[in-house]
Amino acid sequence: MTLPAFLQMGRFSVFIWGAYGFTAIIVFLNVVQPLIQKRKMWERLRRNLDDDDGGGEEVVDEEAE
Amino acid sequence: MKLIHKYAAPKRFYELAGTLTPGLAIITVVLFVSGLYLGLYWAPPDYQQGNAYRIMFVHVPNAWMSMMAYVAMAGFAAAGYIWNVRLADILAKVTAPLGASFTLTALVTGSLWGKPMWGTYWVWDARLTSELILLFLYVGYMALQASIDDPRRAAHASAILAIVGVVNIPIIHYSVYWWHTLHQPASLTLTNQPKIYITMLIPLIIMSLGFMFFYLTMLCVRARSEILWRERHADWVRKLVGLET
């Protein structure tokens, strides 16, 4: 099978690559989002922002999913 | 009961998840790569649907995982509610966005499969509608969690929603048998012979395992972050972060 024929997928390329593309985006977001959240949380913990100075409540709201 | 509380200690799970995550991630990548190769290239076109059926390799695993994740979430939520296991509350909370992702992907890929096969992106048939309700249940669960600041109260309130919502799972599964739907009945069951050919079945099983391991990997990653945040005042976290020596 040639590359153009593979990419064309018969006459269904839009639907097939659309479905796989959407799935890839969702998988990517599911990987990246927790890693960004983890990095931000580690920074906050290191800066000790979770002390009872009012900053803690703000952080809890941001972290809540 | 003591055993559950002992092994469900957040610190113990944090360490266990940290050990398991790299292995789970490697298995996920291997399964995804091989599943994509087999599904998109190796498997032959279907005699009726042509290549359009290849959407099945992402649609079906996501649809299965949307239901399995919900049952897992409700199970964790129930364990947290009944036995006050903090780890169960955490696992229920971190399962919700993953389950919602699986459900959204199942709906969108199903819609993209529906257009060339049914001539429409969406119909209000029982299977599609009950799957959409599942997405609303996930969103409702996450919204309820986010609306209450106290983690224990948030877990208890959302646990009730999660447990009640389980009634939707058999409705999704049996909807194609109970009502006349445009959606086809299941091709794979636990008791009967598969209705799809082996060259299509192998990529489907590999992709399904891939999404299952993806769920487990991301469950560990998300749970570790959530544990760290909830236990931030504990000595072991402060030592880990370097606030105490």
Given a cut of 50, is residue A61 above it in pLDDT? Answer: no
Number of compact structural domains in chain B = 1
- How many Cβ pairs closer than 8 A exist between chain A and B? 94
Q: What's the pLDDT tens digit per position in A41-51?
A: 888 888 875 55
Is residue B243 less than 8 Å (CB to CB) from chain A? yes
Give the number of C-alpha atoms closer than 13 A to the C-alpha of residue B125, restricted to the C-beta side: 22
Tell me the average pLDDT of chain A: 79
Query: Which of A23, A38, A57 is the closest to B109 by Cβ?
Result: A23
Residue B222 lies in a domain: yes
Instruction: Kindly report the backbone phi and psi dihedral angles of residue B50, in degrees, each rounded to the nearest multiple of 5, phi listed first.
Output: 65, -135
Compute the C-alpha angle B6/B8/B11, nearest 5°.
90
DSSP letters, A10-34, are: TTTHHHHHHHHHHHHHHHHHHHHHH
Q: Tell me which chain B residue has its CA closest to the CA of residue A23.
A: B105
Higher-confidence residue of A52 and B244: namely B244
Distances (CA, A) of B128 to A21, B131, B169, B182, B183: 21, 5, 13, 9, 8
Q: Which residues of B touch A1 (CB under 8 A)?
A: 41
Asked whether residue B2 is domain-assigned, the answer is: no
Do the domain assignments include residue B103? yes
Note down the domain range covering B126. Answer: 10-240
Q: For A33, which residue in chain B has the nearest alpha carbon?
A: B222
Tokens describing residue B58: 């992402």
pLDDT digits (tens, 9 = 90+) for B19-29: 999 999 999 99
Q: Hey, what are B66's tokens?
A: 């949307």
Is B205 inside a domain boundary?
yes
The pTM (predicted TM-score) of the whole model is 0.90
Measured between beta carbons, the chain A residues lying within 8 angstroms of B109 are 19, 22-23
pLDDT at residue B104, as a whole number: 98
| Intervals of chain B under pLDDT 70 | 1-3, 5-6, 190, 243-245
In a domain, residue B171? The reply is yes
B63 near A CB under 8 A:
no
**Do residues B95 and B76 make contact, with C-beta atoms less than 8 angstroms apart?**
yes
Task: Please state, in angstroms and as integers, the Cα–Cα distance from residue B74 to each residue in B97, B141, B183, B200, following that order.
Answer: 13, 10, 26, 32
Q: Look at residue A10 in the predicted model and tell me its pLDDT.
A: 84
B238 burial via Cβ count (<10 Å: 0-12, 13-18, 19+): middle
ipTM: 0.92
What pLDDT was estimated at residue A32? 96
Report pLDDT for A65.
43
Does B194 reside within a domain? yes
Whether B1 is in a domain gets the answer no
Residue in A11, A16, A42 nearest the CB of B54: A16
- Chain-chain contact of B101 with A30 (C-beta, under 8 angstroms): yes
Closest among B187, B188, B206, B221 to B16, alpha carbons compared: B221
Q: Nearest by CB to A50, from B104, B214, B232: name it.
A: B232
Q: What is the pLDDT of residue B205?
A: 95
Q: What percent of chain A has pLDDT over 90?
A: 38
Of B185, B139, B145, the C-alpha closest to B165 is B139
Q: Domain for residue B245, yes or no?
A: no
